[in-house]
């Protein structure tokens, strides 16, 4: 029976022993061969899947392809029925806190969340006057927000989503018990680049090299100190000594990093200690969206909140016009990314942690998850085109009709919907508040705590 010994014979492996034991057993030859064939094909399949997954560990379209095509096609109809049942027994959630951190697609998310609340007359925690920040980048205080506008409702506020720093005790005291906490984060170096261009930091610190991003990062502390010593223009309203580039996402999520002066900083803590800190955030936030998986994150949001497909249609706003190729070539970009990692260590720990958590969440979804993602991509593309045409008076259609799916009923998207999508709803809500409650006096703030 030597033909079974395909392995090296120099050492008696477990496998060899097994085969020997097996040879000594009284089994019919045909049974043995059948068994062997089964084991071989099973290992081959495992090997094949493993190869795909190892090649692209985070490429979701691979999973998607793998799920949709290989396993779940036969049970599509069954799956649809199950999901439809689920979605009809799912009660829309309306109370939420969204931590809005700059350059993390959060203004785009704001077009979703503001519209959701506005069309339902929900009560928002609104910045005072014409401010756009809820105290940001300081912890929120009473002088930063308006009292609730509904005098007689069961809960005072439904939604807190304008720029604020997450703080558990402040927000719990303001929001209903069943509030869902959500935020959105982004690959830290990409977020840095976006911020760098959006706030024109190059001009504030005067960089003269062609590859000015490399110049900045190579002399990081010097240039940080220059722009931090200035007060940004009224429009941006960034206080002195505040870093827009360093660990900003962690700061928005309430991680104490020494701003404002006198606040504790955990920047020098070990990775383990920081991870423990993040574990608390993990427990308090139901969803941390990842910009690199924006569509997947939106579907998770829809499912978590039991919202409609129409609710999560968005408009891209504040997308920087810069191209990365303007700045550095690929090799330099990678070098810069590594360099930046050393300056924004906490943001990287944060990002890696929540990216892993998001991918895990996706794996736990029903098998039709990627079908829904793809369906939503199509709807979003159609609506974007429709609204663009609508605004250029080139529209040939009166509305878009989206058919019923296993996730949602049919709905129409009209020009009125486009108009709402393009309206500045923060201003609209502040005006609506003023017309109901009358204009409130905005208390002056001390100059060392300037916020808008
Ligand atoms: C993911 O896989 C798909 C299909 O193989 C491929 O087209 C796509 O470029 C991959 N994306 C990334 C980011 O690797
Ligand atoms: C919201 O309030 C406006 C004005 O008070 C009212 O006309 C509208 O019907 C309300 N909408 C909902 C969904 O309650
Ligand atoms: C306000 O609440 C009180 C007590 O719950 C109730 O009696 C009253 O009818 C409410 N008023 C309005 C306008 O809803
Ligand atoms: C949250 O806010 C409270 C009240 O302002 C403050 O005492 C506490 O230190 C803050 N927590 C963090 C983690 O900053
Ligand atoms: C940029 O400015 C510095 C100091 O003013 C100077 O030493 C350097 O040569 C300049 N670089 C370029 C590319 O002009
Ligand atoms: C900014 O930082 C400098 C140096 O650390 C300090 O002297 C100054 O008082 C700070 N200014 C503000 C407004 O916090
Ligand atoms: C579209 O039509 C409206 C009303 O007829 C007009 O006010 C507007 O300027 C037009 N917009 C464009 C982009 O042509
Ligand atoms: C929507 O449903 C209608 C009628 O059932 C059908 O004719 C049409 O092709 C469907 N549209 C899409 C995009 O599937
Ligand atoms: C969409 O609009 C068409 C006519 O424009 C109407 O017949 C249909 O009932 C509408 N569908 C929904 C879901 O409102």
Nearest residue to 183 via CA among 58, 297, 317: 297
Ligand 6 mean position, distance from CA 229 (Å): 8
Residue 343: inside a domain: yes
Tell whether the model's pLDDT for residue 115 goes beyond 50: yes
Residue 250 has pLDDT above 70, yes or no: yes
| Whether residue 173 has pLDDT greater than 90 | yes
pLDDT on residue 348: 98
Mean per-residue pLDDT for 352-379? 97
Q: What is the pLDDT of residue 325?
A: 44
Nearest CA to ligand 4 atom 12: 167
Q: Which atom of ligand 4 is nearest to the CA of 170?
A: 2
| Distance in angstroms (rounded) separating the CA atoms of residues 186 and 191 | 6
Confidence of residue 280 (pLDDT cuts 50, 70, 90): very high
* pLDDT class of 274 with cuts at 50, 70, 90: very high
d(CA 53, CA 239): 46
Residue whose CA lies nearest to ligand 1 atom number 5 = 62
Residue in 139, 140, 260 to alter for ligand 4 test, most ligand atoms within 8 A of Cβ: 139
Q: Could you tell me the two tokens for 46?
A: 């495992």
Q: Which of ligand 1's atoms lies nearest the C-alpha of 62?
A: 2
Q: How many domains does the chain have?
A: 1
pLDDT band at 3 (very low <50, low <70, confident <90, very high): very low
Question: Which one has a higher pLDDT value, 428 or 4?
Answer: 428
Q: How far is the CA of 391 from the centre of ligand 7 (A)?
A: 7
With cut-offs at 50, 70 and 90, classify the pLDDT of residue 35.
confident
What's the confidence (pLDDT) of residue 447? 63
Asked whether residue 41 is domain-assigned, the answer is: no
Per mean pLDDT, which of 85-99, 191-205, 309-323, 434-448 is the most reliable?
A: 191-205
Rounded mean pLDDT of the chain? 85
Q: Hey, which of 138, 145, 170 would you mutate to test ligand 4's pocket, going by the most ligand atoms within 8 Å of its Cβ?
A: 170
pTM beyond 0.85: no
- How far, in Å, CA of 410 to CA of 285, rounded? 31
Place of tokens 């060899």: 16
Pocket of ligand 2 contains residue 120 by CB under 6 Å: yes
Domain membership of residue 69 (yes or no) is no
Domain contains 36: no
Encoded tokens for 293: 């998986």
CA of 332 to the centre of ligand 5 (A): 20
Residue 50's pLDDT is 67
Q: How high is the pLDDT of residue 1?
A: 38
Q: Report if residue 365 sits inside a domain.
A: yes
Per-residue confidence (pLDDT) for residue 47, from 0 to 100:
73
Tell me if 130 CB under 6 Å of ligand 2. no
Closest alpha carbon to 106 in 185, 160, 196 = 185
Query: Is residue 163 scored above 80 in pLDDT?
Result: yes
As a whole number of angstroms, the distance between CA 399 and CA 413 comes to: 5
Ligand 5 binding pocket includes 326 (Cβ within 6 Å): no
How many A from CA of 82 to the centre of ligand 5?
66
- Round to whole Å and give the CA distance between 298 and 116: 14
Place of tokens 């999973």: 63
Structure confidence at residue 275 (pLDDT): 94
What pLDDT, on the 0 to 100 scale, is given for residue 204? 86
Given a cut of 50, is residue 24 above it in pLDDT? Answer: yes
| 420 CA from centroid of ligand 9 (Å) | 19
Judged by its nearest atom, the ligand closest to the C-alpha of residue 382 is: 8
Taking CA atoms only, the protein residue closest to ligand 4 atom 1 is 167
- Ligand 2: residue of 121, 124, 152, 425 to mutate (most ligand atoms within 8 A of CB) is 121
Compute, in angstroms, the gap from residue 219 CA to the centroid of ligand 5: 13
410 lines ligand 9 (CB under 6 A): yes
pLDDT of 301 higher than 60:
yes
Average pLDDT over residues 67-77: 52
**CATH number for 279:** 3.40.50
In a domain, 122, yes or no: yes
Instruction: Report the DSSP pairing between strands 96-99 and 159-160.
Output: parallel
Taking only the tens place, the pLDDT of each residue in 196-205 is 998 889 888 8
Label residue 5 by pLDDT band (50, 70, 90).
very low
Cα torsion 81, 86, 92, 97: sign: negative
Q: How many residues does the chain have?
A: 452
Inform me whether the pLDDT recorded for 11 exceeds 50: no
Residue 287 lies in domain: 96-437
**Distant-in-sequence contacts of 130-135, Cβ < 8 A, 24+ apart:** 130/427, 130/430, 131/442, 131/451, 131/452, 132/162, 132/163, 132/426, 132/452, 133/162, 133/163, 133/164, 133/237, 133/451, 133/452, 134/160, 134/162, 134/163, 134/164, 135/164, 135/165, 135/451
SS3 of 217-259: HHCHHHHHHHHHCCCCCCCCCCCCCCCCCCCHHHHHCCCCECC
From atom 5 of ligand 2, which residue's Cα is the shortest distance away? Answer: 121
pLDDT at position 441 is 81
Instruction: Give how far Cα 82 sits from Cα of 75, 90, 113, 362, 376, Å.
Output: 11, 12, 28, 18, 19
pLDDT at 319: 66
Q: Work out the average pLDDT over 5-11.
A: 40
Report the range of poorest mean pLDDT among 22-36, 60-74, 236-250: 60-74
pLDDT category at 151 given cuts 50, 70, 90 is low
Tell whether omega for the bond before 409 is within 30 degrees of 0, i.e. cis: no
Residues with CB under 6 A from ligand 6: 240-241, 261, 448
pLDDT exceeds cutoff 80 at 293: yes
Interval 361-385 mean pLDDT: 97
Evaluate whether residue 145 is within a structural domain: yes
Positive or negative, the Cα torsion across 319, 324, 325, 327? positive
Residue 323 domain flag: yes
Calculate Rg over the CA atoms of the chain. Answer: 27
Task: Return the ligand number nearest the Cα of 388.
Answer: 7
Of residues 95, 68, 78, the one with CA closest to residue 304: 95
Lowest-pLDDT choice from 15-19, 150-154, 306-310, 439-443: 15-19
Percent of the chain with pLDDT over 90: 62
User: Would you state the pLDDT for residue 26?
Assistant: 57
Sign for the CA dihedral angle at 347, 348, 351, 357 comes to negative
CB 392 less than 6 A from any atom of ligand 7: yes
Please determine, for residue 129, whether its predicted confidence score (pLDDT) is greater than 60: yes
Q: Verify whether ligand 1 is closer than 6 Å to residue 61 (CB atom).
A: yes
* Residue 208 in contact with ligand 7 by CB distance below 6 A: no
- pLDDT value, residue 240: 86
> 414 CA to middle of ligand 9, Å?
10
Does the pLDDT at position 82 exceed 80? no
Check pLDDT > 80 for residue 448: no
Label residue 60 by pLDDT band (50, 70, 90): low
Strands 399-402 and 287-290: unpaired
The residue ranges of DSSP E strands in 131-223, in sequence order, are 159-160, 180-185
Position 295 confidence tier, pLDDT thresholds 50, 70, 90? very high
């Amino acid at each position: 029976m030597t033909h079974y010994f395909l392995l090296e014979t120099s050492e008696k492996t477990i496998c060899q022993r097994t085969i020997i034991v097996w040879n000594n057993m009284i089994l019919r030859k045909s049974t043995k061969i059948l068994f062997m064939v089964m084991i071989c094909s099973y290992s081959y399949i495992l090997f094949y899947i493993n190869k795909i997954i190892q090649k692209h560990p985070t490429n979701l379209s691979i999973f998607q392809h793998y799920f949709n095509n290989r396993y779940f096609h036969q049970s599509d109809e069954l799956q649809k029925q199950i999901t439809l049942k689920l979605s009809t027994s799912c009660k829309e959630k309306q109370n939420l806190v969204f931590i809005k951190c700059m350059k993390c697609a959060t203004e785009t998310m704001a077009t979703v969340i503001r519209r959701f609340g506005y069309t339902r007359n929900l009560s928002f925690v609104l910045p005072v006057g014409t401010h756009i920040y809820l105290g940001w980048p300081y912890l929120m205080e009473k002088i930063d927000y308006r009292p609730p506008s509904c005098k007689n409702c069961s809960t005072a506020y439904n939604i807190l989503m304008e720029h604020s720093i997450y703080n558990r005790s402040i927000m719990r005291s303001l929001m209903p018990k069943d509030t869902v906490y959500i935020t959105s984060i982004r690959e830290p170096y990409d977020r840095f680049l976006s911020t760098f261009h959006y706030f024109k930091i190059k001009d504030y610190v005067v960089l003269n090299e062609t590859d000015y991003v490399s110049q900045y990062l190579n002399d990081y502390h010097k240039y940080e100190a220059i722009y931090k010593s200035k007060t940004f223009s009224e429009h941006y309203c960034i206080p002195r000594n505040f870093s827009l580039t360093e660990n900003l996402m962690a700061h928005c999520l309430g991680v104490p990093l020494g701003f404002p002066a006198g606040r504790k900083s955990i920047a020098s803590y070990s990775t383990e200690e920081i991870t423990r800190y993040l574990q608390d955030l993990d427990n308090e936030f139901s969803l941390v969206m990842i910009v690199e998986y924006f569509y997947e994150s939106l579907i998770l949001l829809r499912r978590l909140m039991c919202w409609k497909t129409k609710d999560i249609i968005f408009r891209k706003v504040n997308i920087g016009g810069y191209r990365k190729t303007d700045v550095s070539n690929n090799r330099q970009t990678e070098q810069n990314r590594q360099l930046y990692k050393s300056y924004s260590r906490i943001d990287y720990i944060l990002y890696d942690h929540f990216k892993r958590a998001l991918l895990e969440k996706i794996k736990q979804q029903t098998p039709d998850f990627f079908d829904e993602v793809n369906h939503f991509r199509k709807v979003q593309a159609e609506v974007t085109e429709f609204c663009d045409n609508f605004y250029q008076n080139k529209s040939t259609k009166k509305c878009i009709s989206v058919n019923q799916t296993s996730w949602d009923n049919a709905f129409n998207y009209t020009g009125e919907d486009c108009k709402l999508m393009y309206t500045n709803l923060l201003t609209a809500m502040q005006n609506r508040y003023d017309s109901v409650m009358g204009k409130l006096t905005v208390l002056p703030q001390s100059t060392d705590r300037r916020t808008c």
